[in-house]
Amino acid sequence: MSLRLHRVISDYVRLRIEPALPPREAMALRDYFLGLAKDRRWPARNGSGFDYQAIAEATSIPLASLLNVKGILRPLLDAIVRELPRAASAKPKLAARKVSRRLAAPKAKPARKPKKRSAAKSDTARPQSAAERVARKLGRQRKDTVSILGPKDPATTTKRRGPLPAPFVEFPTPLWEDTRSFADFHRELDRQARRHGDNNSMLQRALATAGIVVNVFTVRNWRKGIRYPRTVRSMQALAAIERRYRLPAGHLSGRLPHPARAVTGNNVLGLSHAEHRRLAWHLPDDFSTRPAKEQEEILAWVREVVIRGSTSYRAYQAAALRTPFALRLPEALAVVDARWKSQAARRQDNHANDAAMLASPNLDREMADLVAFKMATLTPYGYQRSGIWGREAALQQVEHLGLLFGAMAAPAAGPVAGLGADKECLCLALLAFPQAWGWYVDWRERRRGFFTTWESNALSVAAALARPETGWLWQNPALGRRLRPIPGLLAQQDIDRALADWTGACQAAHRYAVSRGKEVKRVAKVHRDPFEPILPVLEADSPLTEYKKIADEIIRLMPNAERYPVAAAEATRALLMIRLGLHLGVRQKNLRQLLARPKGTLPSSARQLSDLRRGELRWNSREAGWEVFIPMEAFKNAGSSYFRGQAFHLRLPDLQGLYDLIDGYLERDRPLLLGNAADPGTFFVKTAKQTSASAEYDQNTFYEAWRLTIQRYGIYNPYTGRGAIKGLLPHGPHNVRDVLATHILKKTGSYEQASYAIQDSPETVQEHYGRFLPGDKAAMAARVLNEVWEAA
């Protein structure tokens, strides 16, 4: 048993199994696993899995206890199977045949007729035994003829037949000068092998001398392009070949058809398959051969920087996602889907089957009435209204109010530390009481640690609902009939007082929301700094040039489309996301909802796109170029001074093969990604699977796709050498607008020109997007002033 396997078993039992089982059972499993390793036996198996009944009998542990920790035991059992190759056993029939041959009686050979010899020879020749004749025929001495022939004479012994193997040379001399190279891996490997005089067997023997065991047929398949290296041992073999031929590091591995593909064999004990799949891309090829301390350091860096993103807001968000508490309002969401039928199936509900998070039917109905009122094209008869909700705004308000009521319904002693109110007592009329909003704002401050603009915006919603004349609560005093006392929040006297003077109660709630919103805004802090993930980009002299490195990295690591068509299509999609995001500067919603019209088809009319509130990428045959047309109604800030009632219309430049990328994506890559799924008509589509409900991206999946692109190609990984920008953190598509605005500010100093790049007003750029520090302003002024001194 190797010391490494002994240490792995002991550490795994101590770290993973002992916390889950009693000490006696954990020690019994430890002895069982060590016994397997000592005897070099596999664990008991049952078909394709492990036989836990047999393990339970061998360790005297109840079967139920083993089944409860089956998920913990499985990684260690798999590791033992990998470390202990199965002993080769002969087939039963073949073994029986060999035994019968050994036991069978030897057959008598027919007697040979004596050859006639001359008298001279017969007189002088010495009689030879059978052993002497065999030894003379083979040219070597047999063990059973030593006493007859005497000691072996090397000078008279006949050499072994056949050509002698070529002498081993560690660094062979090239047969000709290296004047050209191939971009394909197999052609370059074959050329270098022939250039140094190596055939498959010689190259395999050289690798074996270096301690790397590779089958000679594997080397042949590499040289013919039948197969390509993708395991840890294969990558070690490539590195050894590069050293043998004195080639630069990565000369051969960089020519693989999928150079950034994660190698197999970097197994990490204690990780689930899903987590290992997320981490595999970011681990170096020699991860499994590095010291344990260095492996832990690499894993910690990947988890902290690449996967989670090392910001305080990311940590807060991850903790909040582990304890969901928002109430679901399906009827209110159904109203949104009915209003926007073309987008009804694109919204996903991750907690659709969780009855504990479902709001009461009465509350759900009240919310549905509010949504219908705010989304109606015209104000319903008998009501007054100030402002309307679009689809995105309606979904956002339903989500935010679901959080409010969910916090009130969450148990006070639970991880959410809510109010603990009965869900049947929750109703929309509670929002007409200042103490309800006061409790919610204070609860959010305790949960986060400080106030943010989120609480200020929530109080603005409260003010709008209770606003005189136009507020929904003001115009519906009948909502107060469902009010019930809630301990710690609302007493029966408060309810009676509000029902007696509903108008006065709404006025008091409106005054409270306005004044408290101003106070919160004054002390609010920034929790999610939008510039923090892309700070290395914004601090560069040319932010756009720095961010463009991500697109260059995608091109550098682009897989071979013939051998890996799906991976190449996904890389092309990621490249076009970056390119179009940098060319257009639109928000995430407009980019992911962008429709596509291939060449040779008529573009959609402006009226159709206005009704859909979507843009379109289409071919302009008159100008022979791709253009993007987005109606004003599709933008969040449609009322901005930038549009002035006109649509967004931009002809894309054909720079660095952009048109070829678009043509190839629409003709080859996009149909491949769709597969058999229904075509949603959007330019960007997901890699559709059999379980995919829709091939169209929604807000969350598009953000995750962009974030995955940044994780793989944007963040520089010092352990793999991949990635474009040092210090970059995972982020979404919205940060592209910060990059464009800051780039133009650093080049021109004009907030107005920066607003042109992101379809917004100069005031918005100055407040939210542009990072134009006093040092940048002073440097720009100094460049103008220094021209006088340089000219003198």
Q: What is the pLDDT of residue 89?
A: 39
Q: Tens of pLDDT along 48-77?
A: 788 888 898 888 898 888 888 888 888 888
Q: What is the pLDDT of residue 354?
A: 57
Q: Tens of pLDDT along 537-587?
A: 999 999 999 999 999 999 999 999 988 999 999 999 999 999 999 999 999
Q: What is the pLDDT of residue 711?
A: 94
For residue 146, is pLDDT > 70?
A: no
For residue 158, is pLDDT > 70?
A: no
CA atoms of 213 and 216, how far apart (whole Å):
9
Task: Give me the domain span that covers residue 638.
Answer: 541-725
Q: What is the pLDDT of residue 504?
A: 94
Q: What is the pLDDT of residue 349?
A: 52
Q: How confident is the model at residue 525 (pLDDT cuts 50, 70, 90)?
A: confident
Residue 113 has, within 13 A of its CA and on its CB side, a CA count of 2
Q: With CA atoms as reference, report the closest residue to 178 among 189, 192, 190.
A: 192
Q: Which of 83, 115, 131 is the last residue of a domain?
A: 83
Q: With CA atoms as reference, report the closest residue to 317 among 533, 157, 511, 539.
A: 533
Q: How confident is the model at residue 387 (pLDDT cuts 50, 70, 90)?
A: confident
User: What burial class does residue 601 get, using C-beta atoms within 10 Å of its C-beta: 0-12 exposed, 13-18 middle, 19+ buried?
Assistant: exposed
Q: Are strands 595-596 and 45-46 parallel, antiparallel or unpaired?
A: unpaired
Q: Which of 48, 83, 118 is the last residue of a domain?
A: 83
Residue with tokens 């009010």: 483
Containing 45, the helix (H) or strand (E) segment is strand 45-46
From its phi and psi, is residue 139 left (phi > 0), alpha (psi between -120 and 50) or beta?
Answer: left
Q: What is the pLDDT of residue 192?
A: 92
The mean per-residue pLDDT over the stretch 347-366 comes to 72
Same domain? 251 vs 297? no
Looking at residue 256, what DSSP letter applies? S
Q: Is residue 160 part of a domain?
A: no
Q: How confident is the model at residue 79 (pLDDT cuts 50, 70, 90)?
A: confident
CA atoms of 785 and 624, how far apart (whole Å):
44
Q: What is the pLDDT of residue 136?
A: 52
Do 528 and 738 form a contact (C-beta atoms < 8 A)? no
Degrees to nearest 5, angle at CA 326 with 323 and 331 = 145
For residue 129, is pLDDT > 60?
A: no
- 618's CB contacts (< 8 A; 6+ apart) are 596, 597, 601, 603, 604, 626, 627, 629
Containing 628, the helix (H) or strand (E) segment is strand 625-630
Same domain? 555 vs 689? yes
Q: What is the pLDDT of residue 119?
A: 46
Residue 397 has, within 13 A of its CA and on its CB side, a CA count of 22
Residues in the chain: 792
Q: With CA atoms as reference, report the closest residue to 754 among 765, 739, 767.
A: 765
Q: How confident is the model at residue 150 (pLDDT cuts 50, 70, 90)?
A: very low
Q: What is the pLDDT of residue 147?
A: 41
Range in 103-117, 280-294, 313-327, 408-422 the model is least confident about: 103-117
Q: What is the pLDDT of residue 785?
A: 82
Same domain? 372 vs 429? yes
Same domain? 373 vs 513? yes
- Number of domains comprising the chain: 5
- 3-state SS class at 616: strand
Q: Which residues of 181-196 are buried (b: 16+ CB within 10 A; e: fewer)?
A: eeeebbebbbbbbeeb
CA atoms of 195 and 176, how far apart (whole Å):
6
Q: What is the pLDDT of residue 142?
A: 44
Q: Is residue 151 part of a domain?
A: no
Q: Residue type for 754, please?
A: A
pTM of the model: 0.69
CA atoms of 776 and 541, how far apart (whole Å):
9
Q: What is the pLDDT of residue 157?
A: 52
Same domain? 578 vs 469? no
Rounded (10°) angle between helices 565-584 and 543-556 = 170
Q: Tens of pLDDT along 34-52?
A: 888 888 888 888 877 888 8
Looking at residue 18, what DSSP letter applies? T
Looking at residue 20, what DSSP letter applies? T
Q: What is the pLDDT of residue 307?
A: 84
CA atoms of 368 and 401, how far apart (whole Å):
12
CA atoms of 747 and 741, how far apart (whole Å):
10
Q: Are strands 616-620 and 595-596 parallel, antiparallel or unpaired?
A: parallel
CA 392 to chain centre: 26
Q: What is the pLDDT of residue 232?
A: 86
CA atoms of 53 and 58, how far apart (whole Å):
9
The mean per-residue pLDDT over the stretch 503-523 comes to 93
Range in 14-18, 161-165, 646-650 the model is least confident about: 161-165
The mean per-residue pLDDT over the stretch 380-395 comes to 88
Give the CA-trace dihedral at 637, 404, 308, 696, to 10 degrees: -50
Q: What is the pLDDT of residue 10?
A: 83
DSSP 436-497: HHHHHHHHHHHHHSS--HHHHHHHHHHHHHT-TTT-TTTT-GGGGGG---BTTTB-HHHHHH
Q: With CA atoms as reference, report the closest residue to 700 among 711, 690, 689, 686.
A: 686
- Cα distances (Å, whole numbers) of residue 448 to 174, 176, 397, 443, 522: 67, 69, 21, 9, 17
Cross-strand bridge partners of residue 617: 596, 628
Residue 66 or residue 514, greater confidence: 514
For residue 111, is pLDDT > 60?
A: no
For residue 588, is pLDDT > 70?
A: yes
> Greatest CA span in the chain, whole angstroms?
148
Same domain? 281 vs 332? no
For residue 167, is pLDDT > 90?
A: no
Q: Is residue 180 part of a domain?
A: no
Q: What is the pLDDT of residue 275?
A: 79
Same domain? 217 vs 298? no
Q: Is residue 568 part of a domain?
A: yes
Q: What is the pLDDT of residue 98?
A: 47
Q: What is the pLDDT of residue 530?
A: 82
Do 80 and 10 form a contact (C-beta atoms < 8 A)? no
- 3-state SS class at 542: coil
Same domain? 432 vs 367? yes
Q: Tens of pLDDT along 81-92?
A: 888 765 433 344
Structure tokens at 631: 């109606």
CA atoms of 718 and 449, how far apart (whole Å):
35
Same domain? 551 vs 448? no
CA atoms of 284 and 278, how far apart (whole Å):
14
CA atoms of 433 and 203, how far apart (whole Å):
82
Beta-carbon neighbour count of residue 736 at 10 Å?
27
Q: How confident is the model at residue 727 (pLDDT cuts 50, 70, 90)?
A: very high
Q: Is residue 53 part of a domain?
A: yes
For residue 141, is pLDDT > 60?
A: no
Q: Tens of pLDDT along 264-299?
A: 877 776 677 777 888 888 998 888 888 889 988 999
Q: Which of 56, 83, 110 is the last residue of a domain?
A: 83
The mean per-residue pLDDT over the stretch 751-764 comes to 91
Same domain? 206 vs 278? no
CA atoms of 594 and 411, how far apart (whole Å):
43
Q: Is residue 159 part of a domain?
A: no
Q: Tens of pLDDT along 616-642?
A: 999 999 999 999 999 999 998 888 888
Q: What is the pLDDT of residue 87?
A: 40
Q: With CA atoms as reference, report the closest residue to 532 among 762, 738, 701, 359.
A: 738
Q: What is the pLDDT of residue 788?
A: 83
Structure tokens at 456: 């200020």
Q: How confident is the model at residue 776 (pLDDT cuts 50, 70, 90)?
A: confident
Q: What is the pLDDT of residue 242?
A: 93
Rg (CA), the chain: 38
Q: Residue type for 260, please?
A: A
Q: The CATH number of the domain where 698 resides is what?
A: 1.10.443
Q: Is residue 411 part of a domain?
A: yes
For residue 99, is pLDDT > 70?
A: no
Same domain? 570 vs 658? yes
Q: Tens of pLDDT along 682-708?
A: 999 999 887 878 899 998 899 999 999
Q: Is residue 65 part of a domain?
A: yes
Q: What is the pLDDT of residue 345?
A: 44
Same domain? 580 vs 719? yes
CA atoms of 543 and 585, how far apart (whole Å):
14
- Cα distances (Å, whole numbers) of residue 597 to 138, 159, 415, 687, 789: 81, 78, 50, 20, 55
* Percent of the chain residues past pLDDT 90, beyond the cut: 46
Q: With CA atoms as reference, report the closest residue to 266 among 79, 5, 64, 534.
A: 79
Q: What is the pLDDT of residue 563?
A: 87
